[in-house]
Amino acid sequence: MFRTAVFEQLGEPRLEGAVTTDIIGKDHAHALRLDAEATPEVKKARLHRKVATAIFFESNGGQQHGKDATQPEVRLAVAEPGLEIGNVEQCLDALVDACYYLTAERNRYRFSFTENLNKRFADVRATVSGPAIDEIVRAEIQRALGRLSGVELIAFPKKSGEIPDRPVVTMVVLTPENSMSESSTAALISSLTNESDSSSRTFKSALIWVVAQEPGSLREEARRVLAWRDIDNDSDGGRIDEIQQRQLTENVKRAERDLKECAWRTYKNVFILADDNSMRPIDLGLFNSSAANSLTELILSRLRQDDIVVEGVAPNRLTRFWPPALPEWSTKAVRDAFYASPKLPDCLSPKQ
């Protein structure tokens, strides 16, 4: 009854969708949900609902052409003793990201009866297919790894025969599904390290395994990229105004940037052959794409620090590993030993 009276005063009954979907009136209204998930202080103050209500009345005050609610006006409307005013900006950001009928442009906010990009994004996101996600995820992983001289890159092998048994540093990247969270991953790495088709692998130490931590976030970011790109490709039909087009362009760029960073964060685990022929895990820790030109470069930099990978070998070091039974050691045998034995480092430049 109250809603009906409000809409009669405003002269715009079509606003009911904005109220019930974004503010209050349905159990899953966005402001209600955000309050339920917020910190105790924000939850107790029902701040998301208050902020959304303030924007609604400020931008729909019965005028023929509603005006925007500015950030200072929203702060003034919800301010009260004991309220941390900085929480208002956080609530505004959360509402802009979640609401279907809220429009934001340069710290000015407005509720209308027209669905915004968030609604279209939610609709399109639900239609994004699994194969499309897999394709963009794998492409982004390979883009993050890049290419580096002296290193052979093998992406997403299914059988040991897809990994060459050669005396060269070989970085093998597993699919996101073969992640650290899967119990079968360790056995898979061990099997592919020891086997080469139907025979035993000779150059086991040449392999550097790169493994995802957990694939869920990577797939979710890929889904976001595909959804925003689909909306952008469909925007030529005139359904998006100038403000929304600017927001759409920024959303596409942000989603692509987030996917890139997620690929770097996800592939932070490396396995190498240990001295006892077991697989030794190395956690690269927290980093982002600004840490190196490529993920391959970053991994090799870390392995250089531990003397696992070297550019070349000095003669005095070579003598320490000279087989005592051999008065002469052929250059081919020397080279092969560095990629077969875990006691020796991998050489990026075998001729050195």
Closest CA to 170 of 200, 138, 188, 193: 193
The rounded distance, in Å, linking the Cα atoms of 174 and 155 is 7
- The pLDDT value recorded for residue 133 is 94
- The pLDDT value recorded for residue 350 is 60
- The pLDDT value recorded for residue 96 is 93
- The pLDDT value recorded for residue 223 is 95
Better pLDDT: 135 or 6: 135
235 pLDDT exceeds 80? no
18 pLDDT exceeds 70? yes
Closest CA to 286 of 306, 255, 261: 261
The whole-number average pLDDT for the span 11-35 is 89
What Å distances lie between residue 67 and 78, 93, 109, 240, 304, CA to CA? 18, 20, 9, 20, 60
Count of C-beta atoms within a 10 Å radius of residue 128: 18
160-197 confidence digits (pLDDT tens): 999 999 999 999 999 999 999 898 999 999 999 999 88
The rounded distance, in Å, linking the Cα atoms of 40 and 92 is 17
Q: How far apart are the first and last CA of the chain?
A: 84
For residue 246, give the amino acid letter. Answer: R
The whole-number average pLDDT for the span 266-278 is 92
Number of helices and strands in the chain (H, E): 15, 12
111-134 confidence digits (pLDDT tens): 988 888 998 899 899 899 889 999
- The pLDDT value recorded for residue 4 is 83
The rounded distance, in Å, linking the Cα atoms of 34 and 28 is 10
- The pLDDT value recorded for residue 237 is 54
- The pLDDT value recorded for residue 239 is 66
- The pLDDT value recorded for residue 308 is 87
What Å distances lie between residue 62 and 57, 77, 100, 107, 217, CA to CA? 9, 18, 21, 22, 44
The rounded distance, in Å, linking the Cα atoms of 171 and 164 is 11
Domain boundaries, the chain: 2-115, 131-213+267-347, 216-260
The rounded distance, in Å, linking the Cα atoms of 167 and 161 is 15
295-345 confidence digits (pLDDT tens): 999 999 999 888 888 877 777 767 777 777 777 777 788 788 878 888 888
Q: What is the residue-averaged pLDDT of the chain?
A: 88
8 pLDDT exceeds 90? no
The rounded distance, in Å, linking the Cα atoms of 124 and 116 is 13
Task: Name the band, by pLDDT with cuts 50, 70 and 90, for residue 63.
Answer: low
130-167 confidence digits (pLDDT tens): 899 999 999 999 999 998 888 999 999 989 999 999 99
Task: Name the band, by pLDDT with cuts 50, 70 and 90, for residue 25.
Answer: confident
The whole-number average pLDDT for the span 239-251 is 83
The whole-number average pLDDT for the span 25-52 is 93
The whole-number average pLDDT for the span 206-214 is 94
- The pLDDT value recorded for residue 330 is 79
The rounded distance, in Å, linking the Cα atoms of 268 and 278 is 20
Closest CA to 299 of 134, 173, 178: 173
Contact call for residues 167 and 335 (beta carbons, < 8 A): yes
Least confident of 198-207, 231-240, 284-293: 231-240
Tokens encoding 105: 């442009």
Q: Which CATH architecture has domain 2-115?
A: Orthogonal Bundle (1.10)
- The pLDDT value recorded for residue 66 is 54
Closest CA to 340 of 210, 208, 201: 201
In DSSP terms, which residues pair with 207 in a beta bridge?
Answer: 170
Ramachandran angles phi, psi of 207, nearest 5°? -85, 130
